[in-house]
Homo-oligomer: A and B are copies of this chain.
Amino acid sequence: MKTKQCPLPYNPKDLIQLAHGGGGKLTHELISTMFYPAFSNPILNEQHDGAIFDCKEGRMAYTTDSFVVDPIFFNGGDIGDLAVNGTVNDLTCCGATPLFLTAAFIIEEGFPMSDLQRIVESMKKASQKAGVAIVTGDTKVVDKGKCDKIFINTSGIGIIDPNIHIHSDRIEEGDSIIISGKIGQHGICILSTRESLGFETDVASDTASLNHMIQSLSESVPIHFMRDPTRGGLSSTLNEIADSASVRIELDEESLPIGESVLSACELLGLDPLYIANEGLMLIFVPKKHAEKTVELLKQFPEGKDACIIGKVTAKNTDGAVLLNTLYGGQRIIEMLRGEQLPRIC
């Protein structure tokens, strides 16, 4: 199959048909006019069943994520850049430099081609910004009513610098805990754009790839552990970490960076910002003596401009617990999210 000229822009009347997922002429037309031109790179352009590439490095990271966010377009992003940034950030958490992504689409029959194109363009921009190549993919179409518009899976692989070792075992008593930006932005953004809620704010999703910022940081600071607090929010991620590292974590409520709009929305809806999903945030554990420098370095990047220290590791070899030192001088236990606060956030 040769790559054809992309017939941009698609007309909003052009709709995805079942045959676009059938493996025949229409599938090939879709791939060659939309996906290949957008994601073009030497490995993808080989148009094999899989991507083939050289790998001379030692340690690698490998991850996967499916994206089912509703709505698919929202303030600050869409399902496309979310899918690229999410996987880039998962690799970044592993201490890896993201290298290649795959993109697999499940599309509902009747989905507008122009919307697909908008999503693909957004993936193109996000992958260029993160410096990763989408090297292989897959397209399936299901009958109308059998999926909700579009679901995207991205998997990714990255190379880990031999000097970087990110593992929960490395978390030490006294480590400072840093968050790279304001919490709750993505979740409140999605909540506000769900049509039926009749609730609006100016909050934009924080979706962003963090690999360049973290790579720069890791050259100067010995990071002990990182994780991006997405589904389940800051609380669930911290509980996971406390549990797997058997450490006690204390957060200071007054230091938590929460935007005005997110705070008002949470108060209005009775939600706890600690459980609201984030997308472009990183939780970073570093030795205390490197904490100020870490914040300073993060602030040099737009994605890190609101970075701050939010807590510390107060004990090791304990039953993992996360405590919040409240504004009023008390202390309460912060648990993992129970039930589902907001489905289909990513």
Within 8 A of B (CB), among A12-29: 17-19, 21-28
Flag if B104 contacts A64 (CB, 8 Å): yes
Flag if A21 contacts B340 (CB, 8 Å): yes
Question: CB within 8 A of A62: which of B27, B157, B167?
Answer: B157
Closest B residue, CB atoms, query A62: B51
> Which segment, of A124-132, A223-231, A255-263, faces chain B?
A223-231
Question: CB within 8 A of A66: which of B68, B70, B140, B340?
Answer: B140
Flag if A157 contacts B160 (CB, 8 Å): no
> Which segment, of A110-118, A144-152, A304-312, faces chain B?
A144-152
Within 8 A of B (CB), among A32-83: 47-68, 70
Asked whether A136 is an interface residue with its Cβ less than 8 Å from the other chain, the reply is yes
**Residues of chain B with a CB closer than 8 A to A62's CB:** 50-53, 100, 102, 135-136, 157
Asked whether A93 is an interface residue with its Cβ less than 8 Å from the other chain, the reply is yes
What 0/1 pattern do residues 239 to 271 of A give for CB contact below 8 A with B? 010011000000000000000000000000000
Asked whether A232 is an interface residue with its Cβ less than 8 Å from the other chain, the reply is yes
**Residues of chain B with a CB closer than 8 A to A244's CB:** 1, 47
Bound form: Cα–Cα A337–B19 in Å: 9
Interface residues of A toward B: which range? Answer: 35 or more
Asked whether A96 is an interface residue with its Cβ less than 8 Å from the other chain, the reply is yes
Minimum distance in angstroms from A249 CB to a CB of chain B: 15
**Residues of chain B with a CB closer than 8 A to A103's CB:** 64
Flag if A337 contacts B23 (CB, 8 Å): yes
Question: CB within 8 A of A142: which of B68, B94, B336?
Answer: B68
CB contact under 8 A between A22 and B136, given known A52-B60, A227-B49: no
**Residues of chain B with a CB closer than 8 A to A153's CB:** 64, 66, 104, 138, 153, 155
Closest B residue, CB atoms, query A64: B102
Closest B residue, CB atoms, query A232: B23
Minimum distance in angstroms from A276 CB to a CB of chain B: 11
Task: Supply 23 A–B pairs (Cβ within 8 Å), ascending by A.
Answer: A22-B231, A22-B343, A23-B277, A24-B337, A25-B337, A26-B339, A48-B93, A50-B90, A52-B59, A53-B59, A54-B60, A55-B55, A55-B57, A55-B58, A55-B60, A62-B102, A63-B136, A64-B153, A68-B140, A102-B155, A106-B106, A141-B343, A147-B151
Interface residues of A (CB under 8 A from B): 1-2, 17-19, 21-28, 47-68, 70, 90-91, 93-94, 96, 100, 102-106, 135-138, 140-143, 145-148, 151, 153, 155-158, 160, 167, 227-228, 230-232, 236, 240, 243-244, 277, 336-341, 343-344
